[in-house]
Amino acid sequence: MRVALLDYGAGNLHSLGKALERGGATVSVTSDWDRALAADALVLPGVGAFSAAVAALPEDRNRVRDALARGLPCLGICLGMQLFFDGSDEGEGEGIGLIPGRVRQLDAPVVPHMGWNDVDEVGDPLFAGLGGGLAAYFAHSYRCDPVDSAIVIGWTEYAGDRMAAAVRWKRSWGVQFHPEKSSRGGLKLVANFLEMARQ
């Protein structure tokens, strides 16, 4: 299983790479979209700012959308999940546009939201073997607001606000939390993604 871990040019990808390797993947860290889209699976990590990340996307977003529509398995983590959407209040630039909707700043007394929160999932295989939910580590200032809530496969609550914690579109999954920092449950989720990518 060859997994491309996209490098936006910011942040430490080491712990995520180790989590993927622990799940049995051969990981290639790359900023080259030809290599990324030729891999068996793609991971968009949760590091950096939205504007910098969209600057690292291909100018023609159709390349990425078409690859994902054809079934290239993809896992977007935190910022990586936010890139699935049309745009963000965090900065200028267009996301991949895979999921209609926008990324908006958290409306909470304390921002960013950093710490452990429960994720209530709705039965997607990404959460298999986790007993119906997950305690996950979050570190974010923005939330994803999809046009169609049917794509939401996990919910969380922060400061009284219920929000999407995980989404799915075909064989693309996004999680607002950091599974690589979410103990054994998070590592199991990464392993579940790799298992579905192999199928």
pLDDT tens column, 49-105: 999 999 999 999 999 999 999 999 999 999 999 999 999 999 999 999 999 999 999
Active site residue: 90, 113, 121, 178, which one?
A: 178
Host H or E run for residue 144: strand 142-146
pLDDT in tens, 92-128: 999 999 999 999 999 999 999 999 999 999 999 999 9
Among residues of the chain, what percentage have pLDDT more than 90? 94
Peptide bond into 100 cis (omega under 30): no
State how far the Cα of 65 lies from the Cα of 42, in Å rounded to an integer. Answer: 12
Single out the catalytic residue among 78, 121, 140, 144.
78
Amino acid at 5: L
Beta bridge partners of 152: 167
Which is the catalytic residue, given 74, 113, 144, 180?
Answer: 180
Which residue range forms the structural domain that includes residue 167? 2-198
pTM attached to this predicted model:
0.96
Is 78 among the catalytic positions? Answer: yes
Distance CA 51, CA 57 (A): 10
Total domains present in the chain: 1
Of the pLDDT bands very low, low, confident and very high (cuts 50, 70, 90), residue 153 is: very high
- The phi, psi pair for 168, rounded to 5°, reads -145, 135
* Residue 196 φ then ψ, to 5°: -65, -35
Amino acid at residue number 119: V
Active site residue 178: yes
Q: Does residue 140 have an active-site annotation?
A: no
User: The domain that contains 103 carries what CATH number?
Assistant: 3.40.50.880
